[in-house]
Amino acid sequence: MGKMYEVALNIEGYRSSGKATVYGNNLKIGGSGNNGNNGNNGNNGSSDPTPIEGTLYTGSFENGTDYWQARGNASIAASSSKAYEGSKSLYISGRTSNWNGAELALDSNYFKAGSAYSFSTMAMPATSASLALTMQYDADGTTKYAQIAKADCTAGKWTLLENTNFTIPTGAKNCKVYIEAPDSLTDIYIDRAICAKAGYKAEGGSSNNGNTNTHSTTPTNTTYATNITAEYNAPSRQFKISWDPVKGADRYGIAVYLAGKWRVQKSDITTTSFVTPKCISAGTSYKIAVAARINGKWDTAGALKNASVIVARSGSNGNNGNNGNNGNNDQPQTHNGYYVDPSKPMVAISFDDGTSPTNSGYRIIDALAECDFRATFFYVGNWIGSEDQVRYADSKGMEIANHTTTHPDLTKQSSQQIRSEYDTTYNKLKRIIGKEPSKLLRLPYLSSNWQVQQTLYDVPMITCSLDTKDWDNASADQIVWTIQNAANNGSLNGAIVLCHETKSTTAEAMERVLPWLKANGYQVVTISDMFAAKGKTLNGGQIYTKVS
């Protein structure tokens, strides 16, 4: 088995979402001074943290970040505002995407694939959230993820996440440990991070022993499936979903959350894996739960409570916690000439409101198609004057999406009204094009608040990072200049651009600027395709202005 260690981590989170990308340094065991791989990493020249007796590493954060690093747009700093023990903890803030946060890379000289370690963490979210301790690793040429431990954490209360015998998967390389909150964008605190030999049990909190090694042959003692992972096969466009065996279970059932409801896919599974039907598009995410039948009884409540999010991504493991920044992407290529190259600059120009009484909408669609470009069209249900125009946009490969039914300020609506505004138009668009439309919602007036996000917890919400001001009577020249200027200064790459298909000035601008963009190496793509090409997930209940 080789050397065995344990890791303990203490975390607090506020409205965290649980998707994470990990860019850590090597964790240095023993010695003093700075980590040789990444400098002092925020330790401000202090010596290595003093280990707790019986452990191999302790992150106390009393003198700095103790080799943890920020991920994405997050900021990390030693903070005295909260602490589990001592006077400080590590505070993670500014998380604009699910995968943003903090991570700790493990040195392969000390942490060996196939060997067991104990990992734990104290967690305290600022608002109640489910927090998980997860490992990212590379194996077989892809980036994979394995859940170490998970617990529902209460705001203002430290909770111990712990797995005292987690085995690093065979063949794993570049192992990194990070904290995620699968359903929230909470700020996060961590304190007393520990690595120790397998079997070490951290003190404090309420232990929530997590999953063991990936798909262990040793059955878990839970009454529902844990350690759910999913591998996406791009050629067949299928998931293979796997989980750890449950002690005493003779059947498993798998359910998917679709259109606001849990829907059972199969309930007579006798193995610990399930292959989905074909034709799952790249970039698509699903919330899934796996229940187990023990002595004739199903623990569906436990399964739903511990559901995972999986993402269709070529070459990547799609388990909960996969942020999609690694591996090759299955690039959309649904219409002639349209292909999204992730290595080239791209922009998502999107169009609001509804079908136009003039021919401006058709002109925009044709201008896009002639350049082999695609865009996202957000329709206000009650403003659709021509259903044929919606079908025409769909036939040309455009993304058909939702802009509510009456275009109200959703921050002034009740939860029931908010949901009705979305669902009514979603169903109308589905009827018009004869298939499921995009789940994306453009927020009317780009306005949102906590209630809107909570009500539309399963809907990715879109604003913009570049506004052409066509709604404010910008001329065609001004619209063209706005887009060209952003392309020239670099801000257009990855941007979501706000336009309106009902404006003749916008149609003229598109007829001029789209060929210019193509000649200058830009791709104009749908919002969903842009995020998929960049390996990012569009998650429900969250607001997106651009892809970073």
State yes or no: pLDDT of 35 exceeds 60.
no
What average pLDDT does this structure show over 309-319?
Answer: 50
φ and ψ of 36, to 5 deg: -70, -15
* 226-312 CATH, one of 3.30.413.10, 3.40.309.10, 3.40.50.300, 2.60.40.10: 2.60.40.10
What is the pLDDT at residue 503? 93
| Per-residue confidence band for 331, with pLDDT thresholds at 50, 70 and 90 | very low
| Three-state helix/strand/coil letters over 111-150 | CCCCCEEEEEEEECCCCCEEEEEEEEEEECCEEEEEEEEE
Mean model confidence pLDDT for the chain: 78
What is the pLDDT at residue 278? 67
What is the pLDDT at residue 146? 85
| CATH class of the domain at 346-544 | alpha beta
- Indicate the pTM of the whole model: 0.44
State yes or no: pLDDT of 356 exceeds 60.
yes
By DSSP bridging, strand 75-79 and strand 89-93 are antiparallel
What average pLDDT does this structure show over 506-525?
Answer: 93
The residue among 548 and 290 whose pLDDT is bigger is 290
CATH superfamily name and code, 55-197: Galactose-binding domain-like (2.60.120.260)
What average pLDDT does this structure show over 502-507?
Answer: 94
Which are the contacts of 490, defined by CB distance < 8 A and separation ≥ 6?
A: none
| Per-residue confidence band for 259, with pLDDT thresholds at 50, 70 and 90 | low
| Per-residue confidence band for 417, with pLDDT thresholds at 50, 70 and 90 | very high
Our CA dihedral for 502, 508, 513, 519, rounded to 10 degrees, sits at 120
| Per-residue confidence band for 72, with pLDDT thresholds at 50, 70 and 90 | confident
Burial (Cβ within 10 Å: 0-12, 13-18, ≥19) of residue 336: exposed
> Residue 52 in contact with residue 46, Cβ under 8 Å?
no
What is the pLDDT at residue 528? 92
What is the pLDDT at residue 352? 96
Domain ranges of the chain: 55-197, 226-312, 346-544
What is the pLDDT at residue 95? 72
Q: Which has the minimum average pLDDT: 121-130, 246-255, 457-466, 505-514?
A: 121-130
Cα–Cα distance measured from residue 289 to residue 266, given in angstroms and rounded to the nearest whole number: 11
What is the pLDDT at residue 220? 63
| Per-residue confidence band for 50, with pLDDT thresholds at 50, 70 and 90 | low
State yes or no: pLDDT of 534 exceeds 90.
no
Whole-angstrom CA distances from 157 to 15, 93, 320, 412 are 14, 18, 24, 33
> Residue 169 in contact with residue 159, Cβ under 8 Å?
no
Overall size of the chain counted in residues: 548
What is the pLDDT at residue 336? 44
What is the pLDDT at residue 281? 60
